[in-house]
Structure 1
């Protein structure tokens, strides 16, 4: 293959990865709009209908830890196509049933599929990156398109519902999009890894990563970040439900503004992480997130209407950078397993954070502000961890060593 052709294939692969993340964000982040419809259709409580969020998150978590090794064992291309195929079949099946248990089952299977192709796609980023810095910039690009999908999905479902179209057609659209991605993936030549392991990667080897301090540290960071972030898109609408101040427009579109700022910040992160010390940026931005939550607790909804949407700008670079640096702390032959471990803690945080906030709020008479005190604790722990990493340079030596052996 010529260098020109290899470069063209690399660009196509990069865009395929962007589109995969945008596609699955459209479905996972639209659940908040779908839940009220399901509650009406099946006369469910909030706790029961919330399984449409917790169920897939749990499935993604288990899929990441159990099947993350497939990307290292079967190869990136085969694993991506396997995950996309399972997702598309599951999505098309939404037209074949009409019970809550049936929908929940399909969403959980789609969560398994997402875990499979997402870990492979994350591992692939290492194959097409020439340095850990480029890896982090690319990861911010991937998550930026995830952010775009998180905006498109809810808007699309809302529009369909106003037109009398069933929300299930979102999954039919996603399935068709998935088929197109599979066809493109089959036609493009993926890079051949120069880091083939002598022994096949196994689930046992992936589980051993849980004992590695770098895997555990970055995974806990991802857990704390997602537990903090999910406070916004799950509970901010509830917190601002009775807002009657002077910023009604902001209160009405607070969640959309949050998603837009998060997506815009990630596009900015592509440039920022290529030029500034990532550890310093992470410490400063996590401090800004903490201040947004503390300001919300002190100032109530009058401050929350401004500060919580603004936090999206500071949250933008945190998760993709944690993900990138955590994966980059391992040899490329183990990137699939590392991505799976981090994904496990990510999805766990997405389920545990909102659940804990809901329980605390309920114990204080259903007042959402008490739940945001829990979120502030998550944000505080995240800041402390990132500040310690910056001050003590905990990861510099490991990243530098792998920069020389894996990317040079």
Structure 2
């Protein structure tokens, strides 16, 4: 139980840090006077760091031990968080997110691998995966309110909001204490028959399997949609809906709340509904939410919004897409990982992290570029294309997972 608490606390803290990128993009535009295109690169500093580190260390983490990897990642971020308010420049915000991404690569691979060790079958794996991911979204939800609490509503351009990183640095230290005392295997796991280079090569070989290739494409497309919407929703609320900065951030917490609720509910619903039917239903509802809600954001009357309850209806309906988006990522990850033996989980998680990071970077930069060039509505309408592509890719994934390709994974 202490191990579950430790990994959940790690995920909670990193949820606040990772998903603060939307808030930090808005505040960087406001406080540091950077363009939307420049601000969108923060997603790249975060996600490309995740991808780069995962690519090179995924097969090595079991050798140094999951506890060491978790403590190392937490220590790195704690130091940079405490330095961020002292530098108070956009260049150091980039360093901050690069460090967060580097550390999260260590944390995510360790956490996903530990979930495999703590699970006895596919159902328990899926249940624990959704619970941990649900806690992650609770952290995301909390983060919006924590950051908005440090923003000066009378002077949004002030850099006072950077003081939030002192609080976050303290939480990271607390998480490190829990990890240190958790009964996680301290001795590194070393395969007898393979070296580090061989394990790294094995991770790359997984992508040659058609089932794995379709899977990572699905992951890439999903994260493209989630990060494209999630990272730019605060700016959408500010510039399209005309909300004040602090309320723009607070109301974005609905998006995180819907994802948290959706992931926690998915663990119950999936006991009675086949995963493929459930995921497709979620994707259809995502599509409908966008095409029905975005027209409501056009030609809104200009009024004074002094509180969260003064916001237009569209400000509440658009973030509700998170409820349907919620189960997709942990569910397809669980389906893929539970089809593999435990010793391959770290390598597969490395691929998950890499393609998630690439999808997040591309989604945020693409959305930011379209936002700046054509406006917020056009940027969000573009997410309909990858949603349709996910439906197609999951059909191929389901078809391949029922065929002989699944058996090939056991020897990959």
The two structures have a TM-score, normalised by structure 2, of 0.83
Query: Of 191, 195, 220, which aligns to 2:217?
Result: 220
2:291 alignment partner, one of 291, 294, 299: 294
- Cα contact 1:94–1:103 (8 A) shared by 2: yes
CA displacement at 1:382 relative to structure 2: 0.9
- Within the candidate set 330, 335, 338, 1:320 is matched to 330
Aligned to 1:348: 358
Picking from 175, 195, 210, the partner of 2:169 is 175
With a CA cutoff of 8 Å and minimum separation of 6, indicate the structure with the bigger relative contact order.
2
1:53 Cα shift?
Answer: 2.7
Contact (CA 8 Å) 1:71, 1:120: kept in 2 or not? yes
Structure 2 vs 1, CA of residues 16 and 398 (structure 1 numbering), >3 Å: closer, same or farther?
farther
Rounded Cα–Cα distance in structure 2 between residues aligned with 1:297 and 1:36: 20
Aligned to 1:4: none
- TM (norm. structure 1) is 0.83
Q: Distance in 2 between matches of 1:166 and 1:213?
A: 50
Looking at structure 2, the residues matched to 384 and 307 of structure 1 have their Cα atoms a distance apart, in angstroms, of 26
Q: Structure 1: 5+ residue runs without aligned partners?
A: 1-10, 245-249
Write out aligned runs for 1:45-64 (5 A). 45-64=35-54
Structure 2 residue runs of 5 or longer lacking an equivalent are 301-312
Please list, as runs of the form range in 1=range in 2, the aligned pairs for 1:97-246 lying within 5 A after superposition. 97-162=87-152, 166-190=160-184, 197-198=191-192, 199-201=194-196, 202-239=199-236, 241-243=239-241
Change over 3 Å in CA distance of 1:283–1:348 after alignment to 2: same
* Shift, 1:112, TM fit: 0.4
Distance 1:17 1:282 in 2: 26
- In structure 2, C-alpha distance between the alignment counterparts of 1:289 and 1:165, rounded to whole Å: 36
RMSD: 3.2
Contact 2:144 2:250 (C-alpha < 8 Å) held by counterparts: no
The structural deviation recorded for 1:141 is 0.8
Mapped contact 2:252–2:319 kept (Cα < 8 A)? yes
Deviation, structure 1 residue 263: 0.7
* Cα displacement (A) at 1:37: 3.3
Once residues 2 and 400 of structure 2 are traced to their aligned partners in structure 1, the CA distance between those partners, rounded to angstroms, is 36
Structure-2 change in CA distance of 1:131 and 1:402 (3 Å):
farther
Superposition deviation, residue 193 in structure 1: 10
Cα distance in 2 for residues equivalent to 1:204 and 1:75: 20
Tell me how far 1:352 sits from its aligned partner: 0.7
The 3 A distance-change label for structure 1 pair 272 and 357 is: same
